[in-house]
Structure 1
Amino acid sequence: MQTARLSAALIFALSLALTCSPIATPTAPAPGETPAPTTVAASPAPTGEAPAAPGHVYYVAPDGDNANPGTRDRPWATPGYGSRQLHPGDTLIILGGRYTLREDDADILTPPSGTASAWITIRGEEGHRPILAGRDNLLTAINLSGVRYVRVENLEVTHDDTVSGEAAWFREGVEILGAPSAHIVLQDLYIHHIDEYGMNIQDVEDLQIVNCRIEYCGFGALGGPAGEHGGWRDVTIRGCSLSWSGHYYQGGDGSDRPYDRPDGFGIEPSQG
């Protein structure tokens, strides 16, 4: 009988799962009941990062205008636009509120690379957790493909629950596909009720996923296609809750998703 072998990437993924901080197992909600968010004990902030270099601080607000200069008093209107105005050392603060994302490219957060001494930072306003609500089958909320020295913090990413049917479809929370990325920090993100992966990652080196809650994603909390540039390397997942994968898909309970997904942690055979 032929025995399937696990690839190095899968063995590495298994070691990550075994060393993650223990998380209390969520209890299934009663039929028709809205699930309560899982509480995760906070982990220490990521360490080993270079000190932030002086840079500009810009702002986005639901009542802003992209013709504004992006100051606190005259903020921009859309996080996608704001993310593309940044330079190494800059910080974009997304003020509390709800932001609807519907147009590919224009509405997707797509920051440039920072440097080792001047990271790019995108974060939600302290004391608030801004909501990025995707719709109209938007590909992703945050695209970090091919970038380096970027951190994203304190955001909620979900589908637009003010619409129904195909208008509410929304595919992924965070994407790193095609071009490899490095030195990425994803912290205090709540990603839920989207159709595919919470984070769809192909090739990355030095990735920290810290204090994130990812649940009710149709294809899984974390995943991605086979790597073309080394796959996942030097990845830390700490203080996170990854649960209820496959229990949501395109507005339903996941029973009509394209293929079965493990609820917690799964291993699949590969060629390597």
Structure 2
Amino acid sequence: MNQGPVPAGARALDAAPLLSVSIVVYRPDLAMLERTLETLAAALRRLGLAEKTPLYLIDNGAPEQAAPVPDAARRDLFELHELRGHGNVGYGRGHNLALDQACSRYYLVLNPDIEVDENALREALDFLEAHREAGLLSPLIREDNGEQAFLCRRYPSVLDLFVRGFLPVPLRRPFARRLAHYEMRDVMDAKRVFWDPPIVSGCFMLFRTETLKRLDGFDPRYFLYFEDYDLSLRTRKLARVVFVPEVEVIHHGGGAANKGLKHIMLFAQSAWIFFRRFGWKWL
């Protein structure tokens, strides 16, 4: 029976890729970036997709400092898009450059220091297909040593951020109970799905693209730090956020205090923007 022509919008939806991935780099560790892309490719193979996955590599370095593209980015699994020459516009703005071009059903914001478990994307997309209310998925993030990193957070106080970000580990001990509460250790573990954590880490954020576009991506006022806090809180106004421990990654990152005075100043500047927008909580 003739059903008539398929609407143009439906044809576009059917033709859209399942997933897009964006990675912002600035003078990256090339060996680590290669590892990130290798593990991402392995996870994509487990999906068994017929189409290539758009991969947006956004280089925020100056044109004369542009990083070479890793060999892993040129594999047949990827439809590579190189965005460079715009200078250091900041982490969030860099991802937004790619989001403007994306038309996939799902969109992965990924750090260049992440190792993706080979089953992570399959588990994540299966979960999102089964739970239409979820707009943002956060994985179980492990440290280099394999221990769980508690990167889902409750709304922070200024004291929480200072202790967690800048005090040496021995000096944090009197604040251990407080930090455990901030890091949601009382309700989160490596076995249970947890719905609606207030804040999730920006190192791996898997969105429904429609949700992320409705939010206009990251707030460009943040150059570095707190853009994921901001985006998490805004996402909760449109859709549910969910932590899914079956989705695993390893994060090789570090805190602002370990990166010098410039990063400390950027951290403080972004914290000021965040608290002015969402409300100050000192203690």
TM category, shorter: under 0.3
Q: Which of structures 1 and 2 has the larger relative contact order (alpha carbons within 8 angstroms, sep 6+)?
A: 2
Bigger proportion of residues as strand: 1
More helix by share: 2
The structure having more radius of gyration, on CA atoms, is: 2
TM-score of the aligned structures, taking structure 2 as reference length: 0.26
